[in-house]
C-alpha cells in the first residue's frame, strides 16, 4: 500500500478559500510530517477541532465542514474557536441538499482522514457513516469522537465534559489534602479525547503507509480517554485495602500556598531533599517534618508561607533551588519570557478581526546536526 498522497488534487482547494488559509502560517513548512495529508473535519465544539488543530500544526490540510448556520461554538467562545481552527479551510454545506452531499462526497474522495463528533447514528442518517464513506474512498481513515463510544449501554446518552469526567470517576480525585474533590477549569475530557484521536490517526496513517492496513474506523470515547489518564491516580488508590484506601499523590509539600501579600506560590516539595532547604529558610531545624502527617505538614507550610510576602519567598526559594513557581494569570503566562524565547506564542485573527494570542504545538523536532527546530 502506498503512503498517503503527498500531492494535492487541483479541486481540493477552491479559489474562494479564505486568504488566511492560502498563506500558510510561518511554522508550517512543506516538510512538516503531515504535509500533503488531507483531513475533513465534520466535528463541532472542542474535541474534534482540537484534534484537527494538532494535525494542521503538523502540516495536514484540514477542511472544516460546518452546517449553513456555522459551528455555534463560534458564538459561545469565539476566541477559542479562532485558536483551534486557525489555518483550516472552513466550508459551510447543507447536507440535506443534493448539492451539499455531492460536495462532501467530492471532498471525501480526495481525503485521507474524516473526523466526526456526532452521537452514534447521526452520520448514518446524514448518509455518511463509515460503510458509505468507505464506498466512496476505500482507503479512508474515519474517526468518530463521542461521549461514551459507538457501542455500549450509554452510547446514545447526551453529555458534556463534566458528565464524562463524572462517569470515569475523575471528579472523585482530590487535589489538596483536607479539601473535597472539585472539577478543574480545563475541559480535560474534551482535550484528552482530541489528543488521543490525533495519536490514533497518526498511527493509522503510519500503518497505511507501511501496507499494514487500508481503511479503518477509529471509535474514540471521551469517557475512555479520561479513564486512561485517570488510571495513574487509581492504581495506587485501589492497591490499598478496601478499608484503608488513600490518595497517594496528596503530599503536604505539594500544592499552592498564599503569601502575606496574597500571591499564590506553587510549591513542589515532593522529594525529601527539599525539606531541609525549606526549613532553613524558615529558621526551623532540619527534619521538622518528621513525624507529622501529610495534613500536618501542609498546615505548617501554610503558616510559614503566609507569614512573609512573595518577594521574600521568591528570593529565598530561588537561592535555595527549591521547586516553586508564582501562580500566573493567562495574560502573565502568555507574555512570559519563557515561552517567548522558545517561540511558542503567535497571533491569529480572533473575533471581529482582532489579533489574539495562540500557542504553537508543543514539542520541537530537531534534526540531527542542528541546534534548533527551524527545519520543522
Active site residues: 190
- Sheet containing 254-258: which strands, arranged edge to edge? 254-258, 264-268, 324-326
Q: Cα–Cα distances in Å, from 222 out to 164, 225, 315? A: 7, 5, 43
Q: What is the DSSP string of 82-147?
A: HHHTTT-EEEE--TTSHHHHHHHHHHHHH-SEEEE-SPTTHHHHHT-SHHHHHHH-TT-EEEEEES
Sign of the CA dihedral with 94 first, then 100, 105, and 110 last:
negative
Residue 287 CB: number of other CB atoms within 10 A? 11
Angstrom distances, CA of residue 37 to CA of 7, 106, 135, 375? 9, 16, 20, 19
- Residue 172 makes CB contacts below 8 A (sequence gap 6+) with 181
d(CA 348, CA 30): 20
Set of cell numbers at residue 297? 505538614
Contact status, residue 247 vs residue 233, Cβ threshold 8 Å: yes
Task: Answer yes or no: are the C-beta atoms of 223 and 13 closer than 8 Å.
Answer: no
Q: Are 218 and 77 in contact (CB under 8 A)?
A: no
Q: What are phi and psi of 340, to 5 degrees?
A: -65, -45
Amino acid at each position: 500500500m502506498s503512503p498517503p498522497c503527498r500531492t494535492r488534487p487541483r479541486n481540493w482547494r477552491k479559489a474562494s478559500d479564505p486568504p488566511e488559509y492560502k498563506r500558510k502560517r510561518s511554522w508550517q513548512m512543506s516538510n512538516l510530517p503531515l504535509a500533503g495529508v488531507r483531513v475533513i473535519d465534520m466535528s463541532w465544539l472542542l474535541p474534534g477541532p482540537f484534534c484537527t488543530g494538532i494535525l494542521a500544526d503538523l502540516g495536514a490540510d484540514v477542511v472544516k465542514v460546518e452546517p449553513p448556520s456555522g459551528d455555534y461554538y463560534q458564538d459561545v467562545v469565539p476566541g477559542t474557536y479562532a485558536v483551534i481552527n486557525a489555518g483550516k479551510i472552513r466550508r459551510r454545506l447543507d447536507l440535506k441538499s443534493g448539492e451539499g452531499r455531492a460536495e462532501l462526497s467530492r471532498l471525501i474522495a480526495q481525503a485521507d482522514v474524516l473526523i466526526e463528533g456526532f452521537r452514534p447514528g447521526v452520520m448514518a442518517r446524514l448518509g455518511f457513516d463509515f460503510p458509505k464513506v468507505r464506498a466512496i474512498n476505500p482507503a479512508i481513515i474515519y474517526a468518530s469522537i463521542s461521549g461514551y463510544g459507538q457501542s455500549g449501554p450509554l452510547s446514545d446518552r447526551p453529555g458534556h465534559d463534566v458528565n464524562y469526567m463524572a462517569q470515569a470517576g475523575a471528579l472523585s480525585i482530590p487535589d489538596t489534602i483536607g479539601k473535597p474533590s472539585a472539577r478543574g477549569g480545563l475541559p480535560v475530557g474534551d482535550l484528552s479525547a482530541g489528543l488521543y484521536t490525533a495519536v490514533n490517526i497518526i498511527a493509522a496513517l503510519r500503518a497505511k503507509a507501511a501496507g499494514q492496513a487500508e481503511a479503518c474506523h477509529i471509535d474514540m470515547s471521551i469517557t475512555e480517554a479520561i479513564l486512561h489518564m485517570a488510571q495513574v491516580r487509581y492504581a495506587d488508590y485501589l492497591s490499598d485495602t478496601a478499608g484503608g484506601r488513600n490518595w497517594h499523590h496528596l503530599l503536604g509539600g505539594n500544592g499552592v500556598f498564599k503569601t502575606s501579600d496574597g500571591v499564590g506560590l506553587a510549591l513542589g516539595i515532593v522529594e525529601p531533599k527539599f525539606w531541609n532547604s525549606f526549613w532553613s529558610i524558615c529558621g526551623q531545624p532540619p527534619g521538622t517534618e518528621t513525624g507529622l502527617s501529610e495534613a500536618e505538614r501542609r498546615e505548617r507550610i501554610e503558616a510559614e508561607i503566609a507569614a512573609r510576602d512573595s518577594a521574600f519567598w521568591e528570593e529565598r526559594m530561588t537561592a535555595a533551588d527549591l521547586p516553586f513557581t508564582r501562580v500566573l494569570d493567562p495574560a502573565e503566562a502568555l507574555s512570559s519570557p519563557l515561552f517567548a524565547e522558545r517561540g511558542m506564542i503567535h497571533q491569529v485573527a480572533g473575533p471581529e478581526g482582532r489579533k489574539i494570542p495562540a500557542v504553537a504545538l508543543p514539542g520541537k523536532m530537531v534534526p540531527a546536526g542542528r541546534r534548533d527546530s527551524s527545519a520543522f
